Amino acid sequence: MKRFRIELRGENFLLNLDGEPRKFGFHLSRYLRAVDAAMAQKTAAIQVRQIPALKQGVCNNSEDPPRISLQQIREVNPLVFAFRHKSQRFELRVEEDLLLPELPVQG
């Protein structure tokens, strides 16, 4: 099996996390094993749908569904995978915050 690092972006997730439904988006990065890049993408999409906040809390109707898109996928060498495969990032943000450019921190 090959080893991959995959990055996904989610948009338009209508969630009611604090009593008021708002649209959220997310960035996710994962390391996983798969036969090929297509299977790695499918596996990551399935894993995303198992995240509790996204699995139980999505309030979208069928006319305005949430979207998940592939940002990047690349094969990584076994050594990188060994050290980083447990390293996963999941950032959930209010969708308007995702549109703002990240500014460098001045120190």
Per-residue pLDDT of the chain (107 residues; tens, 9 = 90+): 999 999 999 999 999 888 888 999 999 999 999 999 999 999 998 988 888 878 778 889 999 999 999 999 999 999 889 888 777 888 888 987 655 455 444 44
HSE-CB of 38 using CA atoms within 13 angstroms: 0
Strands 22-34 and 2-15: antiparallel
